[in-house]
Amino acid sequence: MSRLIHAPLVILGAGHTGRFIYRAVRRRRRPVFATSRSPATHLTFAQPGHRLFFDLQQPETWAHVPARSDIVWCFPALPPDVACAFAQHAVDRNSQLILLGSTSAYRAGRPGLIDEGAPVKRSMPRVASEEHLRTTFGATVLRLSGLYGPGRHVFDWIRNGKIKNSQKYVNLIHVEDVAELCLLALQHAAPGSTYIVSDGQPRPWADICRFAADRFQIAVPPATTTRDTGKRLSPQKILADFNYRLKHLDLFTALAELESGNPR
């Protein structure tokens, strides 16, 4: 526990998700730094002294990451050889390395709920790199489902025509829950572990479109059919291992609060 209070935490590539992780760490009064290739432009949410210039492709910037830091890596660990070289530089035997991956690593069309025992698509360069960092450096991989929350509203995806009104399943997770689970992973995850991060409520897009139209009179696309049934993901492992109760347990309640401009 002492390390979690005193050791620096570095958020590599602190974009939308990193902003919420940064705020969660600040509430715990732990030393924290956020990195970007354009820190003055993209890290305005962080205090000036907490902003670090970092570019994975520029090894001379790696020294900006404080020694003996824990790391939450928010962008794809690519190219693999450079990601491996950085890990050799930055990760020591006491460091915790958390990789934020994607549930796109799992194949669609599998019957039932998908858990961490399902095979991943190792042919994907991102997944292959994550697996190498996991098995070689003990990284913990959090595979995130679709992120939503302040600044990333599902209804805007409907308004902008980014989704289809179909029976394809979608798995979502509120970004505030992701931030909390990242910090719990630093505290509780065993080296080399993998977790699915989702709210456990896989829903067809058609159900979300119906809610948007009925509750908020949002124009939705016409219903369409698709052969792609999507995936249904189970987050039971991470919720049980970390004894965590989601802050945003009900998707429709959270979406209504976002649409009303009154998120919890």
Residue-wise DSSP of the chain: -HHHHHS-EEEET-SHHHHHHHHHHHHTT--EEEEESSHHHH-TTS-GGGEEE--TT-GGGGGGSPTT-EEEE-S---SHHHHHHHHHHH--TT--EEEEEEGGGBPTT-SS-B-TTS-B-TTSHHHHHHHHHHHHH--EEEEE-EEEBTTB-HHHHHHTT-S-BSS-EE-EEEHHHHHHHHHHHHHHPPTT-EEEE--S--EEHHHHHHHHHHHH----PPB---S--B--B--HHHHHHTT---SS--HHHHHHHHHTT---
What does the pLDDT read at residue 4?
Answer: 62
Angstrom distance (rounded) from CA 37 to CA 40? 9
> Domain range holding 36?
2-152+172-200+233-246
Summary mean pLDDT of the chain? 95
Tell whether 163 is covered by a domain. no
What does the pLDDT read at residue 109?
Answer: 74
Give the mean model confidence (pLDDT) for residues 119-143. Answer: 97
pLDDT band at 7 (very low <50, low <70, confident <90, very high): confident
Query: What is the model's pTM?
Result: 0.95
What does the pLDDT read at residue 5?
Answer: 63
Tell whether 34 is covered by a domain. yes
CB 184 within 8 A of CB 209: no
What does the pLDDT read at residue 110?
Answer: 76
What does the pLDDT read at residue 264?
Answer: 47
Angstrom distance (rounded) from CA 31 to CA 19? 15
Q: Is the pLDDT of residue 250 over 60?
A: yes
What does the pLDDT read at residue 60?
Answer: 98
Q: Which residues of 102-132 are buried (b: 16+ CB within 10 A; e: fewer)?
A: bbbbbeeeeeeebebebebeeeeebbbbbbb
Tell whether 213 is covered by a domain. no
pLDDT digits (tens, 9 = 90+) for 68-83: 999 999 999 999 999 9
pLDDT digits (tens, 9 = 90+) for 20-61: 999 999 999 999 999 999 999 999 999 999 999 999 999 999
User: Are β-strands 203-204 and 140-144 bridged in parallel, bridged antiparallel, or unpaired?
Assistant: unpaired
CA distances 4 to 56, 79, 187, 214, Å, are 25, 30, 7, 46
110 vs 158: which has the higher pLDDT: 158
- Please state the domain count of the chain: 1
What does the pLDDT read at residue 239?
Answer: 98
Cα–Cα nearest to 114, from 76, 145, 147, 146: 145
Q: What is the CATH number of the domain that holds 193?
A: 3.40.50.720
Tell whether 251 is covered by a domain. no
